[in-house]
């Protein structure tokens, strides 16, 4: 077998990134859930150059996941991934690929060798070494700690099995919708049996494809709903790890916090919004190349069925008067701590908005309140790659639709750092004793003794998800293990006062409605008819071209109206002279024609009002002075007097008149036949002349 030979994959099915490459002494494969590999080139026996498959219709090439087998043990191999999207910052922050050995139960771990990166001819590239052992049959490498579509289903299955054993726990698992490739979008309802009514939630048109009449929907509870969604961007695996922390705490029924959470709230959870992208190993887009987190404003059931179903389920909770908090779980490659994006609100709403984020930071060492963003500028950012605005993302669209204060994007981190803060101890509300912290929340534990605690990133991410739950209990002062009494604030009002001062110094506390929000009652559910296949989603460039065409067409139409107005006045004046009619009678007739059909005239932008007003002033002066003639050239010229002898001669035998020796010469050309203004010309001039007449009665 020759060296430096590229082996093309035998690609099966519809997934070009799930391939297999076999060399004499090494086999590569990405033919599994969330795998991503495009090609492998053997430079020599120990060096292999790898390229990735991009997301459809984009340049995103960042997420990789492949396995290696049939290797020679105890020999160092070098792997170079060559065509990555430029992401220098994430590797400078300490991100390294992770690996897992098979067979075995060992967790995913960070590669033990150094990682190097640089710009190459094929794009940004990273390089790392790995030495295989005899005990390993195959080793998988991944961009970050993976969380595949299968792992998501296993997480939900595990929670369902635990809840089946408890009669006091209410767990409902529903098929909300199918993705474009017919993968499941599930809606989980989790709470306890308190405050449960006999009523069921109504069906949503266009959702629940397998629902039958004999099947029951979840009961309606007399307590607020907390709505969580995750993995709209498939490569943001930290979001699923944080959501796993949420499931772990909610199903830890021996923990008083779990009991308090299920008693006070109803949790609605959609674990994955882009299952096709997760399965295919995409980083940000779905199978059609859509960034689904930009289509919440107007999703369609044909092109964004998962977003349509998720938004409909959220709106239903708002219509029932239950929705209190909405959080979409994401990951951010440019930060080394978790934070939140919130909306820019006003007055007390902005204080409430910032308060929940502050409470999360008080319950996690790895959540940084200083990195949180609540500005209006962040709500209007336009993506450079696709030109789509954040106005269509989940937190903004849900806030605009429902009007609730607590709408967030939780941005989790890929790497960890040692934060310069110490958490207050937890106090038991029953015994008043201090509750010992987990190592993840203890700055003096073994976790944070190393310079880089990223080895514990999975546990850190799960703790961030659990900190969100603790903050929800603090928000209503129902946390059995609260840190607030031992903090400098002493109670919730002290925290609220500090947050209010922060809001006042940053934006002010003026009570005025947000620019993009119209206060209204509960919005009805989206209509399925609105989301039919007839309405196709257009790209940003197509919308821009349509806008340009419409403006050009409108501008041409208005220019035509203006020219017709001028010509009709000129021709009407010439016609009256050649027919030897009374100019005064003709002027009155034109004036009456202009004022006849005011209500049916089209609207005209103000850019033409100045020109048309001058023409109207000329027509008005014509009514007052029978010895004046209107000159309607473009642009309008000052009125010129018609010579007196010319007015007194009959049309049948027009004399040869020499122009007078003055600066007011007027050249008139006799047409072959009398010219009458057309109906279209008269119609086009009516509106503006009538407006002038009304303003100058």
- Active-site residue list: 411
Tokens 């007011």, residue? 664
Name the helix (H) or strand (E) containing 471.
helix 457-475
CB 117 within 8 A of CB 83: no
Q: To which residue do tokens 């960070």 refer?
A: 110
Q: What is the distance of C-alpha 674 from the center of its chain?
A: 64
Is the CB of residue 472 less than 8 Å from the CB of residue 331? no
The alpha carbon of residue 365 and the mean position of all alpha carbons in its chain are separated, in whole angstroms, by 29
Q: What stretches of 24-165 show up as alpha helix (H) in DSSP?
A: 88-92, 149-164
Burial of 372 (0-12, 13-18, 19+ CB in 10 A): buried
Strand-pair partners of 646: none
Closest CA to 573 of 564, 563, 585, 562: 585
R_g of the chain, CA atoms, integer Å:
36
The CA-atom distances, in angstroms, between 124 and each of 81, 413, 519, 640 are: 8, 21, 48, 74
- Pairing relation of β-strands 323-332 and 266-270? unpaired
End-to-end CA separation in angstroms for the chain: 97
CB 199 within 8 A of CB 216: no
SS3 406: strand
- Alpha-carbon distance values, 476 to 425, 488, 491 (Å): 19, 19, 12
| Residue in this structure with the two tokens 């120990």, named with its chain if needed | 46
User: Who contacts 299 (Cβ-Cβ below 8 Å, separation ≥6)?
Assistant: 307, 308, 311, 526, 531
The SS3 assignment for 326 reads strand
| Distance separating alpha carbons of residues 154 and 131, to the nearest angstrom | 31
Q: Are strands 184-192 and 266-270 parallel, antiparallel or unpaired?
A: antiparallel
d(CA 437, CA 454): 20
Distance of alpha carbon 61 from alpha carbon 53, whole angstroms: 6
Report d(CA 420, CA 422) in Å as an integer. Answer: 7
Provide the residue count of the chain.
Answer: 697
Closest CA to 96 of 448, 447, 462, 452: 452
Main-chain phi, psi angles of 148, to 5 degrees: -75, 175
3-state DSSP helix/strand/coil % of the chain, to nearest 5: 35, 20, 45
409: which strand partners? 328, 341
- According to DSSP, the residues that pair with 173 across neighbouring strands are 188
Sort strands 225-230 and 266-270 into parallel, antiparallel or unpaired: parallel
Q: From edge to edge, which strands make up the β-sheet containing 138-142?
A: 20-22, 27-29, 65-69, 138-142, 98-102, 109-110
Q: How far apart are CA 398 and CA 323, in angstroms?
A: 11
Strands 323-332 and 406-413: parallel
């Amino acid at each position: 077998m020759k060296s430096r030979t590229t082996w093309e994959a035998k690609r099966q099915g519809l997934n070009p990134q799930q391939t297999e490459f076999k060399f004499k002494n090494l086999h590569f494969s990405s033919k599994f859930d969330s795998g991503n590999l495009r090609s492998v080139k053997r430079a020599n026996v120990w060096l292999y150059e790898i390229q990735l498959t991009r997301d459809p219709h984009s340049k995103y090439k960042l997420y990789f996941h492949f396995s290696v087998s049939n290797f020679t043990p105890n020999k160092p191999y070098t792997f170079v991934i060559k065509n990555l999207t430029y992401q220098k910052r994430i590797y400078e922050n300490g991100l390294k690929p992770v690996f897992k050995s098979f067979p075995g139960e060992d967790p995913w771990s960070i590669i033990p060798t150094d990682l190097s990166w640089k710009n190459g001819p094929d794009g940004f590239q990273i390089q790392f070494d790995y030495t295989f052992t005899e005990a390993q049959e195959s080793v998988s490498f991944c961009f970050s700690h993976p969380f595949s579509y299968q792992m998501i289903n296993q997480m939900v299955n595990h929670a369902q099995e635990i809840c089946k054993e408890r009669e006091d726990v209410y767990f409902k698992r529903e098929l909300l919708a199918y993705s474009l490739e017919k993968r499941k979008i599930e809606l989980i309802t989790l709470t306890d049996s308190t405050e449960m009514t006999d009523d069921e939630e109504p069906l949503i048109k266009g959702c629940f494809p397998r629902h039958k009449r004999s099947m029951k929907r979840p009961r309606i509870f007399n307590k607020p709903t907390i709505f969580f969604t995750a993995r709209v961007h498939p490569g943001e695996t930290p979001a699923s790890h944080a959501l796993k922390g949420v499931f772990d705490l909610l199903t830890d029924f021996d923990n008083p916090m779990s009991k308090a959470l299920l008693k006070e709230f109803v949790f609605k959870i959609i674990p994955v919004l882009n299952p096709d992208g997760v399965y295919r190993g995409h980083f940000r887009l779905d199978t059609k190349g859509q960034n689904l987190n930009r289509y919440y404003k107007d999703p369609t059931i044909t092109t964004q069925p998962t977003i349509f179903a998720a938004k409909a389920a959220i709106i239903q909770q708002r219509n029932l008067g239950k929705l209190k908090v909405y959080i979409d779980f994401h990951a951010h490659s440019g930060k080394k701590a978790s934070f939140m994006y919130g909306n820019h609100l006003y007055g007390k709403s902005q204080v409430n908005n910032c308060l929940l984020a502050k409470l999360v930071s008080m319950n996690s060492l790895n959540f940084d309140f200083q990195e949180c963003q609540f500005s209006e500028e962040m709500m209007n950012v336009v993506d450079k790659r696709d030109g789509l605005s954040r106005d269509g993302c989940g937190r903004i669209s849900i806030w605009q639709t429902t009007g609730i204060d607590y709408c967030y994007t939780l941005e989790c981190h890929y790497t960890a750092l040692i934060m310069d803060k110490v958490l207050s101890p937890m106090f038991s509300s029953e015994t008043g004793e201090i509750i010992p912290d987990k190592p993840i929340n203890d700055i003096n534990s073994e976790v944070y003794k190393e310079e880089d605690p990223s080895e514990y990133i999975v546990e850190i991410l799960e703790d961030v998800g659990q900190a969100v739950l603790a903050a929800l209990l603090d928000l209503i002062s129902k946390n059995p293990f609260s840190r607030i009494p031992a903090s400098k604030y002493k109670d919730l009002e002290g925290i609220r006062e500090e947050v209010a001062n922060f809001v006042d110094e940053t934006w002010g506390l003026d009570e005025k409605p947000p620019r993009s929000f119209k206060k209204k009652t509960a919005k009805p559910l989206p209509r399925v008819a609105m989301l039919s296949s007839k309405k196709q989603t257009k790209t940003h460039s197509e919308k821009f071209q349509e806008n340009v065409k419409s403006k050009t067409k409108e501008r041409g139409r208005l220019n035509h109206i203006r020219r017709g107005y001028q010509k009709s006045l000129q021709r009407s004046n010439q016609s009256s002279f050649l027919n030897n009619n009374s100019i005064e009678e003709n002027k009155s007739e034109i004036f009456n024609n202009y004022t006849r059909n005011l209500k049916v005239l089209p609207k005209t932008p103000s850019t033409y009002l100045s020109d048309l007003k001058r023409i109207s002033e000329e027509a008005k002066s014509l009514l007052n002075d029978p010895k004046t003639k209107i000159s309607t050239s473009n642009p309008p010229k000052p009125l010129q007097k018609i010579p007196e002898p010319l007015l007194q001669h009959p049309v049948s035998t027009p004399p040869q008149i020499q122009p007078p020796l003055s600066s007011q010469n007027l050249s008139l050309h006799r047409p072959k036949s009398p010219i009458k203004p057309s109906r279209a010309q008269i119609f086009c001039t009516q509106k503006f002349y009538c407006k002038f007449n009304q303003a100058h009665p």
